[in-house]
Amino acid sequence: MTNTIGIGYIKYSGKGVNKGIMDTKKQAIALIGIDFALRSCINKQSPDLQKFDYEIPIKIQEGSWEALIPDSTAQWVLATASALGFTYAKKAIEKMAENDFGDIGFKDVIKKSVDAIKWFAKIAIHVGDTTTKLFHNVKFLDNNSKIGIRNNASEYLYVPKYILDMYVMSNPNLLEKLAENISKDKDLKIGPCNNICVTAYY
């Protein structure tokens, strides 16, 4: 990863991605997948934004095919929404520096969206699909802030409650486009910058 400051990244790596070069159709699928996944998670947290066709910036990094979600994403989203007449966005831009608009800075919404995509992939890998939304025999940790979900092998994955709430309400096809590009020689990695990522293999 280069030194560009970012909130998170979605990256394809392996022999099928030679020095960051990937087929144009596959790149288009990846970008559409990133937009759909991020937009879905942002809209879940800020439902009023669904009315606006706001822009989400992405920077393609050198090396493996890596889409960096820049540190300025929150300002970019709110600026384009504000230009479209979204009053909330105008107020949020004014309050963003104080990080107290609606008890949460909008930058945190972007961070949680990236984290949610990572966790959605982990959950899908754990349970074996993206359609399972009902979990039985769950366990709880840390004052019920983490919920353990069991797979067919009776193994538990402990997921932050707010993430699981988003997952249960999310579109089961949220990761479909991103997963299309996974192959024997191309892995998908998702994660926040400077943190643990999740890797999806063929």
Q: SS3 for 72-122, per residue? A: CHHHHHHHHHHHCCCHHHHHHHHHHCCCCHHHCCHHHHHHHHHHHHHHHHH
Whether 160 is in a domain gets the answer: no
Q: Which two tokens stand for residue 46?
A: 């800020």
Whether 93 is in a domain gets the answer: yes
**Nearest Cα to Cα of residue 37 among 147, 29, 51, 201:** 29
Whether 23 has a pLDDT exceeding 60, the answer reads yes
Q: Which domain holds residue 76?
A: 6-131+172-200
Number of helices (H), then strands (E), in the chain: 6, 8
Q: Which amino acid is at 58?
A: I
Q: pLDDT tens for residues 41-91?
A: 999 988 877 877 888 889 888 778 999 888 878 777 777 766 656 565 556
Whether 145 is in a domain gets the answer: no
Whether 23 is in a domain gets the answer: yes
- Dmax (CA) for the chain in angstroms is 50
Whether 39 is in a domain gets the answer: yes
Reported confidence tier of residue 36, pLDDT bands at 50, 70, 90: very high
Q: pLDDT tens for residues 93-135?
A: 555 445 544 445 677 888 899 999 999 999 999 999 989 899 9
**Nearest Cα to Cα of residue 202 among 34, 15, 65:** 15
- Please give the Cα distance from 199 to 51 (Å, whole number): 33
- Looking at the structure of the chain, the number of domains it has is 1
Whether 165 is in a domain gets the answer: no
**Nearest Cα to Cα of residue 64 among 25, 115, 9:** 9
C-alpha R_g of the chain: 17
Give the mean pLDDT of the chain: 83
Whether 29 is in a domain gets the answer: yes
Chain Cα centroid distance, residue 198: 11
The vertex-55 CA angle with 169 and 44, nearest 5°, equals 15
Q: Which two tokens stand for residue 127?
A: 């349970």
- Please give the Cα distance from 90 to 79 (Å, whole number): 8
